[in-house]
Structure 1
Amino acid sequence: MSHALIADLGGTNARFALVPIHEYTPQEVRVFACKNYESFFDAAADYIEHCSVDMDNIDAIVLAIAGPVDLPIIRFSNNPWQFTRAEVQAYFGEDKALELLNDFDAVGHCLEVLKPEDLMVIGEHSEVDSKEAAWVVGAGTGLGVACVVPQDVGPNIVLSGEGGHVDLATCNEQEDDILRFLRTRHERVSAERVLSGMGLENIYEALASRSGIERRLTAPQIGDALKAGDDPIAEAALEQFFVFLGRVIGDLVLSVESRGGVYIAGGIVPRYINEIQKSGFRNAMQEKGRMKEFVSPIPTFVVLSEYPGLMGCACYASHLVSKA
């Protein structure tokens, strides 16, 4: 059986997996700490040595990379790995189909293969037009944003960019105070400054300061406080996080009418499904003045799949082999 070798390569961890061509559930997933390997090729060799499929039965390699993939040399911000496309091709063999994707492009490609059970509807609307554009948004270490344009033949077009770095807008006094607080630290406050792991910490610290308290918790500590239920600032910070997320997504929908839906991935939101359901997320998304009726019908979903990036790589690998 023909297989694809797929990998989601970040600054901290590298996730490798196998998948049969035209199947999309990652198999034999292994997560490596990048710091334990001098190069990508060392990590790949470790995975290949211990996986169940011989390289002769691997016809495609698709790598999702946390960073630009159209540069002559691909580098990683948090580890010393670097390589060129030609080096990757030579390592796996000239006969192998190869593609390098931005990590959030890979999440965009997973929309083609997600199942209903992989998604949680947020809000009242769930009807999508599969032929219309969609947004994928993900808050984790940073804030990823990509627009997906469906295609009748071949893989969907994923329009990547740096939408996580748009200016942060505020709509009430509390949000104004948060922005002012963050401006004392940053010349410019982007959406990522509040919609990321670091962003949740920033919101917490700003709200604590607003109450006359000097305190900053890490994102895991905020999570522990939320579980304990004994820290009202943590609860307020998470609520404000979801409101900011709604505001940013509403702005994206105004930019591109995404009747294909908005899909929220990343490491943070899937941990707090009950909280986002009860939050002001949808109201904030729809609070667009005269354009409320334009934004309100757009459905929003949380992606529950554990490995959406790997699923997107698997989907793209099938297109690669079919094209060959």
Structure 2
Amino acid sequence: MSHALIADLGGTNARFAIVPLNEYQPQEIEVFACKEFDSFFAAATKYLEVCSLSIQEISAVVLAIAGPVNQQVIKFSNNPWTFTKEEVESFFGDGIRVALLNDFDAMGHSLEVLSTDDYIKIGAGNDIDETAPAWVIGPGTGLGVSCVVPQEKANIVLPGEGGHVDVPSCTAQEDYIMSFLRERHQRVSAERVLSGMGLENIYEALAKRNGLDSRLTAKAIGEAGKNNDALALEALEQFFVYLGRVVGDLVLSVESRGGVFIVGGIIPRYIELFRLSGFRHAMSEKGRMSDFVGKIPTFVVTAEYPGLMGCANYASYLANESS
């Protein structure tokens, strides 16, 4: 049986796995800290040393990359690794098909193979219309976004860098946060408030507003929130509200009756707080278009490795194209 080597290469971690072609559950998963390797090739060599397959048993390689892939030299948004597709092809050798996807293209391709056990519905909204477009958005090391357009065969996943759009400001508190961050960054993108770094920024701004000089890590903020620390809970709530505002803007851009799927490493950790938050209200708080937006269903993806599942799905396209 032919296999694919798949990898989800982020700003913090590189996740490697193998999968039989036309199957979608990744096997032999290894998670490496990117900072421990000088290059992708060093990490890939390490994985090949520990996985059960020889390179001769691999017929396709699909890499999901945290950054744009439509360029000659691949550069990551939050990782110093660089390489070209030709270098990857040379590394793995002749006869192995290679595809490079943006990490949120891979997330988009996972929607076809996720089961209903792999996500949780949040708030109101009609059932999924599987023939309609869907959005995937995920705060993590950065903020990724992709739009999925269903097709009879392989879905179209529209590329983009939606995490770098302008962030909305709709309340006095949000005005203060924007002013605080503008002094540091001039332009404040959505990623500045919707990422691990973004949660830290929100907490620091709210602390300053309360006369405190304090910045915690995202992990520490989450732990403090679980212990009912008022400032940490306020920061998390604002984080969820910002996500709602950005999701609502996406829905206004493309009527995504296929749903909005929230991925990434942050929201699933705080799912109960998220359920009770102002996320859905902020999402649908769009004036005359509130009813339009409020009908769109939203979900949190709880599958542990949706990016790898999307890579596995794309590997099956490669296999079927060449057969």
Instruction: Tell me the TM-score normalized by structure 1.
Output: 0.95
One-letter amino acid matched to 1:209: K
Residue in 1 aligned with 2:26? 26
Q: Give aligned-pair identity as a percent.
A: 66
Tell me the CA shift for residue 298 of structure 1.
0.4
One-letter amino acid matched to 1:223: G
8 Å Cα contact 2:66/2:78 also seen in 1: no
Residue in 2 aligned with 1:168? 167
Residue in 2 aligned with 1:226? 225
Tell me the CA shift for residue 78 of structure 1.
5.5
Question: Deviation per CA, 1:26-75, whole angstroms, max 9, x where unpaired?
Answer: 11001122333333223222212221123232221101111122222223
User: Is the partner of 2:184 in helix, strand or coil?
Assistant: coil
Cα distance in 2 for partners of 1:52, 1:123 equals 43
Question: Deviation per CA, 1:72-115, whole angstroms, max 9, x where unpaired?
Answer: 22234655533221121122222112101111111111111011
Cα 1:78–1:289 shift into 2, 3 Å: closer
Tell me the CA shift for residue 275 of structure 1.
0.6
Cα distance in 2 for partners of 1:124, 1:273 equals 16
Cα distance in 1 for partners of 2:149, 2:158 equals 8
Cα distance in 1 for partners of 2:32, 2:105 equals 22
Cα distance in 1 for partners of 2:173, 2:79 equals 38
One-letter amino acid matched to 1:262: V
Cα distance in 2 for partners of 1:37, 1:176 equals 40
Residue in 2 aligned with 1:138? 138
How does 1:160-309 map onto structure 2 within 5 Å? 160-229=159-228, 231-309=229-307
Question: Deviation per CA, 1:208-267, whole angstroms, max 9, x where unpaired?
Answer: 2222222211111101211222x2010111111111110110000000000110000011
User: Is the partner of 1:212 in helix, strand or coil?
Assistant: coil
Residue in 2 aligned with 1:67? 67
Residue in 1 aligned with 2:54? 54
User: Is the partner of 1:185 in helix, strand or coil?
Assistant: helix
One-letter amino acid matched to 1:272: Y
> Which range moves more in the overlay, 167-176 or 264-273?
167-176
User: Is the partner of 1:257 in helix, strand or coil?
Assistant: coil
Gap runs ≥5 in structure 2:
none
Residue in 2 aligned with 1:318? 316
8 Å Cα contact 1:126/1:300 also seen in 2: no
8 Å Cα contact 2:131/2:258 also seen in 1: yes
User: Is the partner of 2:261 in helix, strand or coil?
Assistant: strand
How does 1:102-121 map onto structure 2 within 5 Å? 102-121=102-121
Cα distance in 2 for partners of 1:87, 1:291 equals 48
User: Is the partner of 2:52 in helix, strand or coil?
Assistant: coil
User: Is the partner of 2:185 in helix, strand or coil?
Assistant: coil
Output the aligned Cα RMSD: 1.5
8 Å Cα contact 2:60/2:318 also seen in 1: yes
User: Is the partner of 1:67 in helix, strand or coil?
Assistant: coil
User: Is the partner of 1:8 in helix, strand or coil?
Assistant: strand
One-letter amino acid matched to 2:138: G
Gap runs ≥5 in structure 1:
none
Cα distance in 1 for partners of 2:75, 2:277 equals 38
> Which range moves more in the overlay, 196-205 or 177-186?
177-186
Tell me the CA shift for residue 2 of structure 1.
1.6
8 Å Cα contact 2:10/2:79 also seen in 1: no
Cα 1:74–1:322 shift into 2, 3 Å: same
Is 1:84 the counterpart of 2:99 in the alignment? no
User: Is the partner of 1:112 in helix, strand or coil?
Assistant: coil
8 Å Cα contact 2:137/2:146 also seen in 1: yes
One-letter amino acid matched to 2:191: E
> Which range moves more in the overlay, 295-304 or 178-187?
178-187
Tell me the CA shift for residue 20 of structure 1.
1.1
Instruction: Tell me the TM-score normalized by structure 2.
Output: 0.95
Cα distance in 2 for partners of 1:292, 1:79 equals 38
One-letter amino acid matched to 1:294: F
Cα 1:97–1:300 shift into 2, 3 Å: same
Residue in 2 aligned with 1:42? 42
Cα 1:306–1:288 shift into 2, 3 Å: same
One-letter amino acid matched to 1:267: G
Cα 1:144–1:76 shift into 2, 3 Å: closer
Question: Deviation per CA, 1:267-297, whole angstroms, max 9, x where unpaired?
Answer: 1101111011000100110111100111111
Residue in 2 aligned with 1:96? 96
